[in-house]
A and B are shown apart, each in its own frame.
Chain A
Amino acid sequence: MNNELSWSAAREARIDRAIDRAVREMMQVDPPPGLRRRVLARLNESNNRDRHFLPQLAFAALAMMIVLLATSIWYRGEPPTPPQPPAMATGAPVPIINSEAVMQQQVRGEAAIPGQITKEPIRMPRVTNVFGGRPREASAATVDAGRREIFVAPLTIVPLSARPLVIEPLILPPLSKGGQ
């Protein structure tokens, strides 16, 4: 019994020693010589980089400021341009769209080569004015770009008709006896 215990204790001590030794050999390594020199060299290098970086940064900031200043001065000298009117407000005549013909053309195109992409361009109707076909007239919000004047449609007030209100007399039928 005592022999077994001592044998077990000896084995455990041997394993403990092995663990200690393994950890020691893994960790008790000295740094390569010249660490101090390498660290100081790195510090000098980064200081030099910073020393060069700051003037470069200042120059870039200065250049940026000059560009911004020049741009602002340039734009301040020009008069403000009025907003351009939309193309549909020029009063151009509206083309007559034959929607049936367009539909037929599209249907023909699809039916001609089923399942294939046709190279023929599909003609779409050009719509330039959605407000109507009468030239030289414009809606209240339309701006004519040529003359740069705003045309406002004259405001017409329709007079209210003053017809007399006629209320017809209510005629009730006489009640019969017994409430029926």
Chain B
Amino acid sequence: MDQSTDCVTGTEPSAATDLDLVRLAQAGDVDAFGELVERNRRAVFRAALACVRSPAEADDVAQEAFVTAYRKLGTFRGDAQFRTWLLSITWRKAIDRRKSISRWLRIAVSPSRTETGEDSFDQMERVAASNRSQEDTIVDDELQQNVTRLIRTLPRKLRDALLLAGTGEHTYEEISQILGAPLGTVKWRVSEARRVLKRKLAALGYAYE
């Protein structure tokens, strides 16, 4: 944690820890920061995607988050993990983007494929790729489409927790720090999101009780 800049100067980027790379980047090494981008790009992109839902916007948010992180590197003292600090910046940027009016206008003017759901071509591809019977696959696809649609109708706090947990990139501890909520609250939100989804599916005829 308290490594000086001298200790990490000349470290190979591939073998260095995140903190080593941060120290190099703080000393003005842009390539070291590039390595940090490479290491964290997926986590950052998916965190943004959980918030803004459109891959194009998530990419934009990820870029903004990295640029902001680079500018604020001087304020990073290594008390927390770089990745968590970066994800917090990403989440704030994504929330700002979600709140922005221009985004809503853009969606209203040209609904993207991610906003409208999958098209029939994807369904056909999946049917062809599956080993199960066509009928089962189509029923499951219909169920999944309903689930996807219902996830979008969840309250934001529940949806954010569920989607962040579903990225496969973030631990519950990280999600807790990103959202600024206690760990227990995050776990409850994920569980509650699933419960609400099941209740809504039951109302659509997919009874499980």
Show the binding face of A for B, using Cβ within 8 Å.
Answer: 8, 11-12, 14-16, 18-32, 35-36, 38-40, 42-43, 46
Contacts and interface: CB of A to CB of B under 8 A. Distances in A.
A36 B163 CA distance: 24
**Top 8 closest pairs, chain A to chain B, by CB:** A23-B166, A31-B45, A22-B147, A12-B208, A39-B66, A27-B167, A36-B37, A11-B208
A29 B114 CA distance: 12
Interface of B: 30, 33-34, 37-38, 41-42, 44-46, 49-50, 53, 55, 58-59, 62-63, 66-67, 70-71, 140, 143-144, 147-148, 151, 162-163, 165-168, 194, 197-198, 201, 206-209
Contact of A39 (B63, B143, B165, B198): B63
B59 A31 contact: yes
Contacts of A11: 206-208
Interface SS, B side:
helix
Contact of A43 (B49, B70, B168, B201): B70
A19 B163 CA distance: 11
Interface of A is mostly: helix
Contact of A30 (B30, B38, B45, B53): B45
B46 A28 contact: yes
A18 B142 CA distance: 10
A21 B118 CA distance: 14
A31 B144 contact: no
A18 B147 contact: yes
Contact of A26 (B59, B140, B166, B207): B166
B91 to A, nearest CB: 14
A11 B140 CA distance: 12
B57 to A, nearest CB: 12
B49 A29 contact: yes
Given A23-B163, A35-B62, A40 B143 contact: no
Nearest to B39: A36
A58 B41 CA distance: 37
